[in-house]
Structures are given as C-alpha cells and as structure tokens.
Chain A
Amino acid sequence: MSQVAHIFQIAAKDLQIEARSRQTIGLIIVLGVLIVVVLGLGLGTGGRVEGMRATAILWVAYLFGGALCFEKTMAVEAYDGALAGLMLAPVDRGSIYLGKLLANLALMLAMALVVTPVGVVMFRFDLSVAPAGFIVVMALSMLGFAAVGTLFAAAVTSSRLQGGLLAVLIFPLCLPLVIASTQQMLGMFEEGRALAGPGLGLLIAFDIIFIAASWLVFEALLEP
C-alpha cells in the first residue's frame, strides 16, 4: 500500500511544481498546436486532407510534445540537488519511475485534451465513427510512449546533447506503437472494424513489456 502512496506522492510533487511554474504544459500545448498547423498547411489546406491523416498528424504532435514533456519533468530534478534528495528518500527507486510516468501521462493527457479537438476540427476528422476506440488506442499508445520516454529522460539528464538526443533515442523504439496504432485506426475508421485484433494486442504487450523493463532498470540510470 505504501508503495502506491509513494508513487502518487512523487507524481503529485511533479504536478505541483508544474502547477506553480506552468512551464511545461503551456509549451507542449503550443508546440502540439503548431505541429498540427504546420502539417495541415504542408499537406494542403481547404479540407483536402483526408480524415485518416488527422490521426497521423495528432501522433506527430503527441510524439514531439511528449518528448519535450519527459525532458522537462526530469530536468526539474537537476536543480539544487533535487535528484540526490529524491534518491535519499526511503522509497523504492522503481516507485520514482512510476511516479514520474504518472506525472508525464497527466501532462500528455492535458496536451491531448487541447490538441486533439484542434486536429479534429481542422481536418474535419469524423471522430464519431469510433470515439471509444480512438481514445483507447491513443491512451495505450501514449502509455507505451511515456514508459520509454520517462526511462530515457533519466538517462540523458547528464549528457551534453539533451534536446535532440532524447527524441533520437525514443522515436525508433516507439515505431511499433506507431505502426500498430495506425493499423488499428485504419481498421476502425476506414473499414468499420471493431476495437480488437493483433494491433490492440501489440499495443498492450508493448505497454506491459516496457513498463516492467523500465521499472527494473530505472535504478541503474539514476545518478545525482
């Protein structure tokens, strides 16, 4: 029980810092909207972008917004010996990882709540075909992405090329998520299939494998 409490405490601490500084959330929302606009203009304006492309565009916005978010929530630990303090705290190091993951997910969710309607409106994407399916697939993808991102954010905090490096590290790892969720979305929105099948299984497998693996190896990466 206490371990669950620790996880929520750590997540709450990160979210409290964020609530006071409001640095990350504004940044990732604006970045997400910008990506949607840039890709919308790049792919041709005037409603000529087919509905399905909206999911791909939203994916790109989530990916880049997420990468920034993971970096920021880990970077707050770099100041004033915060990371050393966190490591000295009598909590399991795995709990630190899960707490950070939870905070990242909350921030990404907040971003998605703004960016998704923007994308849906701009590309006239008919979300009413399978709204529950859309939410489930995106939530599972985000969970897997955040699982990998949170782990490697801890890895790159002490390296020279922070910004670009995190994206380079986690994007290739998350390509299975992109493939599986895109195929799942195609099935649901274009072919009218139900939310099931190998794509969904793969998303769940990805989430389980990487949350478990990250939880195990996170401790090795923490270094004040």
Chain B
Amino acid sequence: MTFPRFLAPLFWGATIALLAGALLMAVFYAPIEQTMGPVQKIFYLHMPVALTTFAACFVVFAARIGYLWQRQPVWDDLAQAGDQVSVLFASIVLITGMIWAKQAWGHWWTWSPRLTFSLILWLLYVVYLMVRQSIESPDRRALVCAVYGVIAFLDVPLVYFSTKLLPDVHPASIELAPEMRQTLLVWLLVAPIVCGGFIVARYRLFRLARATGAQS
C-alpha cells in the first residue's frame, strides 16, 4: 500500500484534534453520573475501546485465515500489526475496567464474567507476541501464528459461554442522558479511527522492514 507522503501527518493531526475534542466532551460536556460520580466518565473510554478491540481481533483472525489460504507474507504483516494493536487496546480495556471496578465495587478485581472474558482474551492475544519472539524461521513463525490464530478465534465463543457460568455483577443495560449518549457516540467514532491508524502504521512499518530485509 502506498500513500502520498502528506497523508499520514494530515490523518494524525485530525485524529489528535478529534481525540482532544472527545476528551473535552467527556470531561466538561457530559454530566456527572449520580451514583458513581466522576469516575463514571471512564466509561466513555472503556466501552468504545472494548468494542474496537473486538474489531481488531477480527482483523487478526481474517489475516490469519488469509495467510493459511495464500501463504503470502502480506497477511502475516497485517496480522502482526493487528495483534500488537489488539493487545494494546485490550490492555486499556482491562486497566480502565479495573480503575472503574475499584471505585464502583470497591475491588480492583472480581471474577465476573465480563472481566474474566476480557482477561482471557488479553492472554490469548499476548501469547502471539511470545510466539513471535520464540520462533526464528519467518515462514514457520507465520504458520504457527496462523494456526494459533484460527484456534484462538474458535476459542473466543467458548471462553464467552464458559464465563457465563460465573456469577455476575456487571450492569446488563445502562440508562444514558442525551449528553452522555452524544459523548459516547463521539468516542465510538474516535476509538476505531485511532485503532485503524495504529494498525495501518504498524502494517506499513512491517512491510518496509520486510522489503529492506530489516525483519528480525
């Protein structure tokens, strides 16, 4: 993929402006929630990032399938980029979730279905990074990662249903004020843009590294 040179700074400039706007909205525009107080504002980051993580995981899965099918390094680079960004976003989900849980329930961690689900998902995708470091041959590495990716993706619904067996404390649905909903919508726009930007940036870096033979 080749882009005109000016596109990247333009994209990131616009994204940073959007992110700043979304932050200001969350802090000043959205009202303070009655029972939980200001800490509820972490929700605007937490929920959209969680949804974006699922989307990023799906990109990884699609790229892994692509690799198994065509055995082209392009797919491996895309999957690797998607994986790194997935781990980053899943980490943000876990950390914001823990901060929120500490304030809302008084504990950093409970073994509730959704927390456990996020944690296992995070573990599943962190393993990719470990596999990458452990296998020297690039072809072998891509192949093992591809197989692992398919198996891990099949595992996700099983993880989801198994965590359903655990007792729950998460809210099933939340009533939102109009200002809250608008703020949430802006964040739902920002999170995927940042995520997509990261994935494309990493992907281009991996492509360049492969083209110049700088791949580790």
Contacts and interface: CB of A to CB of B under 8 A. Distances in A.
Interface of A: 148, 151-152, 155-156, 158-161, 165, 168-169, 172-173, 175-177, 179-180, 183, 198-199, 202, 205-206, 209-210, 213-214, 217, 220-221, 223
A176 B68 contact: no
Contacts of A177: 162
B40 to A, nearest CB: 29
Given A175-B120, A180-B162, A221 B147 contact: yes
B134 A179 contact: no
Interface of B: 68, 116, 120, 123-124, 127, 130-131, 134-137, 140, 143-144, 146-148, 150-152, 154-155, 158-159, 161-166
A155 B144 contact: yes
19 contacts: A160-B135, A173-B155, A176-B155, A176-B161, A176-B162, A177-B162, A179-B162, A179-B166, A180-B165, A198-B161, A199-B165, A202-B162, A205-B161, A210-B154, A213-B150, A213-B151, A217-B150, A220-B68, A220-B143
B163 A179 contact: yes
A199 B140 CA distance: 36
A148 B147 contact: no
Contact of B134 (A159, A173, A209): A159
A159 B165 contact: no
Contacts of A168: 127, 130
Nearest to A205: B158
Contacts, number: 93
Nearest to B144: A155
A159 B144 contact: yes
A223 B147 CA distance: 14
Nearest to A214: B151
A206 B159 CA distance: 10
A183 B154 contact: no
Contact of A151 (B127, B136, B151): B151
B158 A202 contact: yes
B35 to A, nearest CB: 31
Given A172-B123, A220-B147, 17 more contacts: A151-B147, A151-B151, A152-B148, A155-B143, A156-B134, A160-B135, A165-B130, A168-B127, A175-B162, A179-B165, A179-B166, A199-B165, A205-B161, A209-B154, A220-B68, A221-B143, A221-B144
Nearest to B125: A172
Given A151-B147, A155-B144, A155-B147, A173 B135 contact: no
B147 A165 contact: no
Nearest to A184: B165
A165 B140 CA distance: 14
A147 B198 CA distance: 35
A158 B136 CA distance: 9
A172 B120 contact: yes
Nearest to A182: B165
Contacts of A206: 158
Contact of A169 (B68, B131, B154, B165): B131
A199 B161 CA distance: 9
Contacts of B116: 179
Contacts of A172: 120, 123-124, 127, 152
A197 to B, nearest CB: 9
Contacts of A202: 158, 161-162, 165
A173 B121 CA distance: 9
B134 A161 contact: yes
Q: Which 10 A-B pairs have the closest CB atoms?
A: A176-B162, A161-B134, A179-B162, A172-B123, A159-B135, A176-B158, A183-B165, A155-B144, A180-B162, A165-B134
Nearest to B153: A213
B155 to A, nearest CB: 5
A93 to B, nearest CB: 14
Which of A172, A202, A205 counts the most chain B CB atoms within 10 A?
A172
A177 B161 CA distance: 11
